[in-house]
Structure 1
Amino acid sequence: MMKIEFAPLNVPLRRRLQTAAVVQWVFSFLVLAQCCLAMFILLSLSRWWILAALYAGWLYLDRDTPSCGGRRSHWVRSWTVWKYFSDYFPITLIKTVDLDPKHNYLFGFHPHGVLVAGGFGNFCTEASGFSALFPGLMPYLLMLPFWFRVPFFRDYIMCGGLVSSEKASASYILSRPGGGHVAVVAVGGAPESLDARPGALTLQVLNRKGFIKMALKHGAHLVPVFSFGENELFDQMENPVGSLLRRLQERLQKVMGVALPLFHARGVFQYSFGLLPYRKPIHTVVGRPIAVTQTPSPSAEDIETLHKLYLEGLTQLFEENKAIYGIPQNKHLQFI
């Protein structure tokens, strides 16, 4: 029988607020979209149906916004709740070198983790001080297009700087004149989340070359980013490659476009089970940029050469920092 470890009653208010902030984030990630869709349907069936009709018209007129830079809100990105969210883990953003705002950049974010907590905290809020660390740069975190079709939810997530992961969306950001724009791509995507568990260092990147081609086409400098601690936030049911559960997850991922990792960690009032992440520190290290010469029609050789340079840069970033963040010297990244 599992022994339940309950949270003490004398938890400081600051920590309670941090937990509340993470509860709303997990809720937003897992069920807010469904609630927004249900609200839209109920509104359509009520006597206020005209509001739903007007909003549907707005959706049609605004359909291209998620792939044209979105509609970010500095006010939303600066909400106090995000500071509590960041302090829960805590999340820290580390700069290794200055990035010239005269260029556009493509950040390759690794690993994906279960819910991309480091990616959200660092690039969709100002809680970790992105604008202060990288003055003149504006980050956009790319997300599956599916979520931008959900009424109301789409408008909310765009406020944080989330945009569609369609090619047209990345092209729009990376081709902006004057520089200063950053497209942040979780390179491993949804499939990598199925392997996200404590100690995991396997990255799905060997066959991921679309972001390389995009950087070449627009001359955007490539920057490897490694988020130490991203995989430590949740446990996950055993799902080795080839198992029945893994085959089912992969099938659903192909059909729905989103992965369904069966994760668990802690609860609100106890530490033994639940859907809240563990309080584990996340250190997101932004590496050195790889200069890219614009090549409107890159060849397979161009893509392969830059991809190799990127993997070398990512490996160097990891090896130089792993000891600082508690990873043994005999542990190395594995690329698949």
Structure 2
Amino acid sequence: MKIEFAPLNIPLRRRIQTAAVLQWLFSFLALAQCCLAGFVLLALSDWWILAMLYAGWLWLDWDTPSCGGRRSQWVRRCAIWKHFRDYFPITLVKTMDLDPRNNYIFGFHPHGVLVAGGFGNFCTEATDFSKLFPGLRPHLLMLPFWFRVPLFRDYIMSGGLVSSEKSSLSYLVSRPEGGNVAVIAVGGAPEALDARPGALALQVSNRKGFIKLALKHGAQLVPVFSFGENELFDQMANPSGSSLRTLQDQLQSIMGVALPLFHARGVFQYSFGLIPYRKAIHTVVGRPISVVQTPSPNEEDIDALHQVYLQSLSELFEEQKENYGIPKDRHLQFI
């Protein structure tokens, strides 16, 4: 394989953008392991008392990820996220105003490999979420497992990440004063295994838990489609039924975490590596679906609203796709 090296005269701003993405990638792939190892080493050192004090704090703070988290505006507004945004670049597109007196569930599609658009738009202020949607506080839901890792949990909460437990979602969308936005990557870990350039298959047909909670608490549903999310990485071929896909599915069912074998470009060369491609991401926030609060929704209620949601998501995609380079004959596939 011929290696294409990066030219030496790349502008400094582009090098800073790559560094910003590299630290984000490290935080997704290795920071949790480093935090856990550091905590264990601290507990075994002469400074073990610090580890014990933190363990006590962790016990007292155990439920915070399920009770709205603990965000830091300083972290969300940190300058590094603007460089992260400009690498791709990432843009947040508003189609209409949202009333801050309501609570919302944003259904984010597609999941992609690492939910780059979801993170950039809803865990930072790099794309001006607070200016576009004044009075609303976005929270991106993440697997509960990650909030059990010492120190790492505090870092991810600072950006607005919260646990994806049902109790966490219920806490957010049941606030009587409104203003909360729960962002759910509906396709979850299984959809990440199909994330590759050109993919338009969404794991949503049997995903109805968020629909039930929207009905229960009267939260408005908003479909969100992130154009370009699947263009950032390639994956090893893993068609359904293959030995690789079977292994991935088994590991996902055991661990709850998808393990896509993805690749893209490197830092100093463009032929291989784990750095995402420089592909634009346009995250479009659709029109809200009004939901009548139903404290005890039955299956018929859930199925009816689910169909309305799928229709709204499909309409959003069809209305916007040509603006972002998707041919007329390409359509979403719900699986």
The verdict on a shared fold, with TM-score over 0.5 as the criterion, is yes
Corresponding position: 1:261 with 2:254: no
Q: Which amino acid aligns with 1:57?
A: G
SS of the aligned residue for 1:317 comes to helix
- What are the equivalent positions in structure 2 for 1:82-101 lying under 5 Å apart? 82-101=81-100
Q: What's the counterpart of residue 136 of structure 2?
A: 137
Residue deviations 1:135-169 (CA, integer Å, cap 9, x gap)? 00000000000000000000000000000000000
The runs of at least 4 consecutive aligned structure 1 residues that moved more than 4 Å come to none
Residue 178 of structure 1: how far off its partner (Å) = 1.1
How many angstroms does 1:177 deviate by? 1.6
Cα RMSD for the two superposed structures? 0.3
Partner of 1:174: 173
- How many Å apart are 1:61 and its aligned residue? 0.5
Q: How far, CA to CA, are the matches of 2:90 and 2:210 in structure 1?
A: 26
Cα displacement (A) at 1:36:
0.2
Q: Does 1:149 align with 2:144?
A: no
Q: SS where residue 93 of structure 1 aligns?
A: strand
Q: How does 1:1-336 map to 2 (within 5 A)?
A: 2-336=1-335
String of CA shifts for 1:180-206, please: whole Å, max 9, x gaps.
100000000000000000000000000
C-alpha distance in 2, partners of 1:128/1:87?
A: 10
Q: 1:128, 1:19 → 2: CA distance?
A: 18
Deviations 1:27-85 (A, max 9, x none): 00000000000000000000000100111111110000000000000010000000000
Aligned length: 335
**CA–CA separation in structure 2 for the residues paired with 1:37 and 1:269:** 30
CA distance in 2, matches of 1:176, 1:139: 14
Measured in 1, the distance between the counterparts of 2:172 and 2:73 equals 18
Q: Which runs of 5+ in 2 are unaligned?
A: none
Q: TM-score, normalised by structure 2?
A: 1.00
- Give the distance between the partners of 1:249 and 1:59, measured in 2 at CA: 32
Distance (whole Å) between structure 2 residues aligned to residue 43 and residue 116 of structure 1: 32
Give the Cα–Cα distance (whole angstroms) in 1 for the partners of residues 148 and 241 of structure 2: 33
TM-score, normalised via structure 1 length: 0.99
User: CA–CA distance in 1 between the matches of 2:286 and 2:143?
Assistant: 25
Gaps of 5+ in 1: none
Partners of 1:261 and 1:326 in 2: how far apart? Answer: 26
SS in 2 for 1:305: helix
* DSSP 3-state at the match of 1:323: helix
SS of the residue aligned with 1:324? helix
Matches of 1:300 and 1:232 in 2, distance apart? 36
Give distance in 2, aligned partners of 1:297 and 1:271: 54
Aligned-partner residue type, residue 323 of structure 1: E
What's the CA shift string for 1:297-322, capped at 9, x where partnerless? 00100000000000000000000000
* Partner secondary structure for residue 63 of structure 1: coil
- CA distance in 2 between counterparts of 1:138 and 1:300 reads 30
Question: Separation in 1 of the partners of 2:182 and 2:135?
Answer: 14
Q: CA deviation at 1:258?
A: 0.2
- Distance (whole Å) between structure 1 residues aligned to residue 207 and residue 119 of structure 2: 21
Specify the code of the residue in structure 1 equivalent to 2:290. Answer: A
Task: Give 1:6's aligned amino acid.
Answer: F
Aligned-partner SS, 1:302: helix
Secondary structure at the counterpart of residue 322 of structure 1: helix
2:310 & 2:4 partners in 1: Cα distance? Answer: 42
CA distance in 2, matches of 1:65, 1:104: 19
Percent of aligned pairs with the same residue?
A: 79
